[in-house]
Structure 1
């Protein structure tokens, strides 16, 4: 039986009078890619911040690999790879130097994992060049590489292709697809329908902090009798995905 790597149970968060996330519950199994699909402001980043342990939920529980997660739980954080929207690399350093720096923060020694990650994200040929000279897509791929250094059981990607060219987007999507094939549980947020359809085994439609529906593409389109995910989203939320 496939093991559940991530289980979110009733996650809720509000900021003053505004409800950012309301009673969010879903699971992700090993080797599964789960997409949180929603427009900007839907609550995706707030949900991710609670899942990776950056932000404390007002209510609900996050379990990763069977362990209850919290902002102070370093044991759980050690099995999570987090790739935020913002680039986390240092532009004055090379790709290899960035990876070595973050590997040391993880307590990793030796060069083998750094070299392996460079191959995974396709930066071997440019590994010793300063990141300041990289294209946006290359910097995004390095950002993903940093999230892979610790051999994560759960990889969380928050709109990792935002602002990159089509060729770089394809390279990123190919890398993510291979990781899921190796047994990594992947949580992928996006507001690009084509990415969700290409990558995700299941999709959760998030709007105004609430999970309106979830399932495979076939399950979601069958649920409301619509031919595609864009039409499903419009019918469930009353608005376009990219508004």
Structure 2
């Protein structure tokens, strides 16, 4: 079982998603273990305060170091040795499929959900790193933590059922995925491409590869620039769709 602990001030906001669909089934099968911990449980005093005004003034509140560090230390004591503690933060490097593949090889994860204006900087020495979903701001780190859990869980053996599925998806080769179709064969005048119904698997594979390359070239030139194209791909890109 791959262990994950999510530290948050709003546990109800993550519990529902973790119990649904593929993640819920992975937990039922014992492939993924996710514990959701309320940071406020580690705050002291009658009111269990977890945030305070920032030194130096300014808008918003800052998460206090005492309860957050206490929660992190408690989570480390429960986790396997070497589990990574990551703060969901816009300051961190952008989360990618490659990073998900790195994290699935770790002994486990402890994901810390930031809130308000941020986290007291003195918490940073107790972390192993920070993670961002991209160049935008969220209300809190819960959505980012769920994204990390979801992306990592899908890479665990047995979670998807069809293991070949996860290696043919977008970003696994720095490629976007080819278009997908299912029944009915005709929908409001739009037809499923004949090649996908021809039964020629080599031709279908060629069609899918051509579309993946073209889509990446058009929509994500940054990814396309990192591709190491072989002679077969170069030759394929010179063709028109009707020539496939």
Is the TM-score greater than 0.5? no
Q: Greater relative contact order (Cα 8 A, min sep 6): structure 1 or 2?
A: 1
Between Structure 1 and Structure 2, whose CA radius of gyration is higher?
2
Provide TM-score, normalisation by structure 1. Answer: 0.29
Provide TM-score, normalisation by structure 2. Answer: 0.29
Higher strand share: 1
